[in-house]
Amino acid sequence: MTFDRRAFLNACSCAGIASPLLPGILLTLAAQAQEAGSGAGPNAASSAGAEAKPPALAKITDEMLDQAAELAGVGPFTAEQKKMMLDGLNDQRDAYAQIRALKIGNNVPPAYVFHPGPAETKIEKSAYCYTEVPRPPISDDLFTPFETPAHMEDLAFATVSQIGPLLQRRKITSLALTQMYLERLKRYDAKLHFVITLTEERAIAQAKKADEEIAAGHYRGPLHGIPWGAKDLLAVKGYPTTWGAGGFEHQSFDEDATVVQRLDAAGAVLIAKFSLGALAMGDKWFGGRTRNPWNPALGSSGSSAGSASAVAAGCVGFAIGSETLGSISSPSTRCGCSGLRPSFGLVPRTGAMALSWTMDKLGPICRSVEDCALVLDVIHGPDGKDLSAATAAFEWNPGLDWRTLRVGYLKSEFDPLPPSKLKEAAAGESNEDRKKREDGNAEMQAGRARREYDRRYELAALDKLRAMGVSLIPVELPKLPWEAMVPLLTAEAAAAFDDLTMTGHDRLLTEQGPEDWPNDFRVARFYPAVEYIQANRARTLAVRQMAALFEQVDVIVTPSTDAQLMATNLTGNPAVIVPNGLRGADAPKPPAIDDGDHDDIGGPDTPVSLTFLGGLYRDATVAWFAQIYQEATGFQKLHPKLD
């Protein structure tokens, strides 16, 4: 049966509907009706194996339409309106099946492309596009002098900019460096659970090649011979790419991701594929939970869990992570790393797992901002495959006088916290309700105590900047319903993993709670298409207003909080996250259970962070200023004691 588009739209128009009903509601209701009629349980389809097919769907009825209308927030419809709609709705549902029969892979994007800049945005074109010929390296003037170590493991916590000259001048070998990091990965993985797959054979071959090339005078640049690790959503030929998810443990691809190809061309040595929370959520994966090197009783946060944990633990030179909504920022904060979340589109995502085509970003997690710049210099630029990739330049300029930059700060995020509003007892409150209320109030008070404690570090950062001669300008984010736009992410994620929901294989994922992917994917099916478009129109307003904000300032300083995370991930603005000190012995103790939702729960002797935001494709400017702050404070030199 074919879908009669005109008849369906006419029916909707006659019914007075301003927007078509959401895709998925009637499908789900019909499936439930069919299961009820057949006696099949909710897991009947999923228990039949990989090739199981969903049962034939029941015909859409008046009652289903009433329920769907209530879920969608439209209607109610009269009997005559419903009669006109039913044929078109049944036909439309049949069209869903035809699309699903195509079995579209995760690597196929939608037929639209998101570019975050307003129409008038001017983008400085990159001086070069990627080819197999290595790019010109950032100037050697950036390298920090470093003495030849007495023991190779003395370099475990050194930065790329410190190790690079030693390799270039043949004071050490890439092979010895690689073997040292491989040994540390094996030693500490039992405690931190950050490795999914060691790429040892590949790494040894690359390290030997790097040593041969450097000895022959063919030095590829600052990353030549440096061991690194990839978040295991990047495809690497010859090795599994698991996405951290149960059911995908043996998945593999025949081509390296673009970022992997570029780092290969720069001479970097891939030694491991690091853990990520299942399908890029949190720090729990099919092999366990990745731990925070500063406090292994806690998770590392995610979803770039293993990348941040391994860098912080001195087990790799640098790592690549990804962020859709905090997945570079959060683990960098918890683990005390320097993370650079690039402007949307600056780094091509070809060969990376898709979660949200309009929000996914790949970026470096390192031990210094300088290192982040060295890595981003190599991996940025279009590849001709990711249509969202921008031809923007990353022009690192150590000669830039940072004193000329206009630096803002999100004033409300540094202001005193408003009074807590504890929930009061209701008349006739039961013992169960009383306990729930008291537990909720205690959790709120504990969260406030942690926030108040960390606020002193944030205020100290402002004092330090002023002492450096920075005239801070108070600014605020545009007043928009940022959280109401976040369902754009889950709608795209549900489409990216539609087959998991439809086959019931989502039950193989490690986490099955109300805030985990299986439930999120199901809920997203009830998101109306028109509301998705309306949220994207609101996002256009957000992009325009954020661009206007960065006409007033060049850099914004902010705590690494949820408010700016939502806003800047939706608008695609770059962020640099830097360690901002260690909590003292008087810090509030961590909660008994780490739910993964908060980055301020580390307790005594764990790191705090600060975030610097920039205008679109002004990644080099914001990174340069963040590096200046980092050099002035020295917090990047702190590292955890693992033994």
* Interatomic CA distance for residues 118 and 159, integer angstroms: 37
* Interatomic CA distance for residues 629 and 623, integer angstroms: 10
- Helix ranges (DSSP H) in 366-430: 369-379, 411-414
Residue listed under structure tokens 């994922």: 509
Phi, psi of 103 (to 5 degrees): 50, 60
**Amino acid, res. 106:** N
* Interatomic CA distance for residues 60 and 27, integer angstroms: 8
With 0-12 CB in 10 A as exposed, 13-18 as middle and 19+ as buried, what is 80? exposed
According to DSSP, residue 74 is labeled -
573: region left, alpha or beta (phi > 0 left; psi from -120 to 50 alpha): beta
Phi, psi of 463 (to 5 degrees): -60, -40
The three-point CA angle 551-554-556 to 5° equals 110
3-state DSSP call for residue 182? Answer: helix
Helix axes 160-168, 174-192, angle to 10 degrees: 150
* Interatomic CA distance for residues 365 and 194, integer angstroms: 14
246 closest CA partner among 48, 515, 510:
510
Q: List own/partner pairs for 627-633 with CB under 8 A and 24 or more apart.
A: 627/368, 627/369, 627/370, 627/373, 628/402, 628/468, 629/461, 629/464, 629/465, 629/468, 629/578, 630/338, 630/368, 630/369, 630/578, 632/464, 632/468, 633/464, 633/580, 633/581
Please give the positions annotated as active site: 231, 303, 327
Burial of 403-418, coded b for 16+ CB within 10 Å and e otherwise, reads eebbbbbbeebbeeee
Chain mean position to CA 465: 28
**String of DSSP letters for 497-559:** THHHHHHTGGGGSS--STTSHHHHHHHHTTS-HHHHHHHHHHHHHHHHHHHHHHHH-SEEEE-
199 closest CA partner among 120, 300, 105, 270:
270
* Interatomic CA distance for residues 564 and 625, integer angstroms: 19
Contacts of 360 (CB under 8 A, 6+ apart): 322, 323, 324, 349, 352, 354
**Amino acid, res. 504:** G
